Structure formats: C-alpha cells, structure tokens
Amino acid sequence: MKKVFLIALCLFALNQAKAQVGLSFLHSEAVSSFGISTNPEKRIWGEGRIDMDVSEFSPEIMGFYNFIRKEDFNLFGGLGYRFKLAEGPVIPAVGFTVKPFEKMRNFAFHAEGAYVSGAVDGDDFLKGAIGFRYFIKKSK
C-alpha cells in the first residue's frame, strides 16, 4: 500500500510541476518496474526505476544515450546499477521506443534488454522488458 501511495504522490507532484520528464512502466516475466526519467527525447538521459514486486524493493538507476533519434522512433543504449535484489551493474542495456500514434506524440511503446553482472548470488542474468512511456512536457 505504501508503494501505491508513493507512486500516486510522485505522479501528482509531477503533474503539478509540469516537469519535463518521462514516466515508464516496464513489464517482464520476472518483475515489473515503474520509472521516472529525465527528458528521454534528448541525446543523453537518465532513469530511476522501482520494481513493483511486493516482496522486495529493488531500485535501479540507469543512464542512456540515444543513438538514433527520430520523430517516431528512438534507439538507445546505456548502463546502470541495480540495488538490493539481484544487485549488480547493468551493462549493457539496449532498447527502443516507438511512437505509433501521430496525435499522441507524448506516448510511446518501449522495449529493453539488459545484462546484469555480478548479482548477489554470483549469477549473471539477462533481463528483458516491454512497456510504455509517457512524456510530460512543460506547459508553455
């Protein structure tokens, strides 16, 4: 319940501030996560994520570089670090966003794959996720 309240509070604060950020939801077979990013349309951007697993709280911090930036498609790569559950560096992470709706340019589908090295139990693993991203622009 605390996580739901925290997410709702963050969404309300971002909406009130009209911040220039992206919100994302990524789903994988293992665990889903909610993320808040800097402007994902810029060449270099970052994202903080929180796993939505009720039994564990595993934050992840990522830095990305958009290799291809088009109006309706971005291809990016990056690295980061995952804390607590399956802790370890995330190198590399590769993904893309696609904006399929011309009238909804703030909405995008998102897919990403990453390699997590040196996890707590000593096992490296691959993780993949699909989801969506919404970009909140500053009011003019």
Q: Note the Cα 123 to chain centre separation in Å.
A: 23
Q: What's the pLDDT score for residue 121?
A: 59
CA dist 89 and 105 (Å) reads 32
pLDDT category at 120 given cuts 50, 70, 90 is low
Percent with pLDDT over 70 in the chain: 71
Kindly report the CATH number assigned to the domain that includes residue 76: 2.40.160.20
Burial class for 113, CB neighbours closer than 10 Å (0-12, 13-18, 19+): middle
Instruction: Extract the tokens encoding 125.
Output: 């693993």
Q: What's the pLDDT score for residue 56?
A: 65
* Among 20-24, 37-41, 51-55, 81-85, the least confident range: 51-55
Q: Are 113 and 81 in contact (CB under 8 A)?
A: no
Instruction: Encode pLDDT of 14-46 as tens digits.
Output: 444 444 678 888 887 766 788 888 888 889 989
Number of domains in the chain: 1
Q: Which of the two residues, 118 and 71, has the higher pLDDT score?
A: 71
| Residue 54: other Cβ atoms inside 10 A | 8
The domain of 47 spans: 2-136
Q: What's the pLDDT score for residue 40?
A: 82
